[in-house]
């Protein structure tokens, strides 16, 4: 999904990229998602810390007090599931998902841009299907009163809701980036951030051609290496 994002280059740009440069309603939606993603990343970090504390508490209770705990494993799983699925959109916004760039060096920049856009569209369609199935499972678990098979027995609508909401946010993020790529070029969609893959080609083009427009629209042309 990320198309070769290098996390080491993201830190200096984080504060500058808090506000979208895209005009109109699309920019307003993008800004809202940026704010939501920042909040979710913070909550996701707290969830991971909470999961570590829950498991550590379980180890201490079992080892020193010889008391079994029935809830810690599933509680930790719920926290990790929530952190993972809810933060997926924030990671995608930074093009931080793992991707394979085996074809990048074999294709021209124009073909690579088309390939990256197609990858976003295919990923969006898959996430839509995933979100739909998650909401279906969530509704079924709620209506039927399904619970876990463990002795603790928490309701299963909790993890299904976390999955469904997280995938829905990821769908929204993909839709925003696809619209930005089509309307304003790859730079607006975040493809210019990586140091490897197509991103390095775009960044090099911008260094070599300072006359490019801020929205990167001229990068859509059929230019050769």
Total domain count for the chain? Answer: 1
The answer to whether position 1 is within a domain reads: no
The answer to whether position 2 is within a domain reads: no
pLDDT tens profile 36-69: 999 999 999 999 999 999 999 999 988 888 887 7
CA torsion sign for 11, 13, 19, 25 is negative
pLDDT tens profile 5-37: 443 334 344 444 566 667 778 888 888 999 999
Upper half-sphere CA count for residue 94 (Cβ side, 13 Å): 23
Residues in the chain: 225
Range of the domain at 203: 7-220
**pLDDT higher than threshold 50 for residue 219:** no
- How far is residue 41's CA from residue 47's CA, in Å, rounded to a whole number? 10
pLDDT tens profile 115-150: 888 989 999 999 999 999 999 999 999 999 999 888
The answer to whether position 110 is within a domain reads: yes
The answer to whether position 225 is within a domain reads: no
- pLDDT the model gives residue 220: 40
pTM: 0.73
């Amino acid at each position: 999904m990320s198309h070769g994002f290098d996390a080491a280059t993201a830190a200096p740009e984080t504060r500058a990229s808090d506000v979208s440069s895209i005009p109109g309603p699309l920019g307003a939606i993008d800004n809202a998602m940026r704010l939501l993603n920042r909040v979710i990343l913070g909550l996701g970090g707290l969830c991971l810390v909470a999961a570590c504390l829950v498991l550590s508490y379980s180890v201490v209770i079992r080892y020193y007090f010889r008391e079994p705990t029935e809830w810690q494993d599933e509680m930790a799983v719920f926290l990790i599931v929530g952190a993972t699925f809810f933060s997926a959109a924030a990671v995608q916004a930074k093009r931080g998902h793992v991707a394979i760039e085996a074809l990048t060096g074999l294709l021209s920049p124009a073909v690579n841009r088309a390939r990256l856009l197609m990858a976003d569209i295919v990923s969006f369609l898959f996430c839509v299907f995933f979100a739909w199935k998650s909401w279906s499972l969530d509704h079924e678990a709620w209506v039927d009163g399904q619970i876990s098979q463990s002795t603790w027995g928490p309701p299963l609508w909790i993890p299904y809701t976390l999955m469904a909401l997280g995938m829905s946010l990821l769908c929204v993020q993909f839709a925003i980036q696809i619209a930005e790529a089509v309307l304003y070029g790859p730079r607006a969609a975040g493809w210019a951030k990586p140091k490897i893959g197509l991103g390095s080609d775009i960044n090099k083009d911008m260094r070599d051609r300072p006359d490019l427009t801020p929205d990167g629209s001229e990068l859509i042309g059929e230019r050769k290496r």
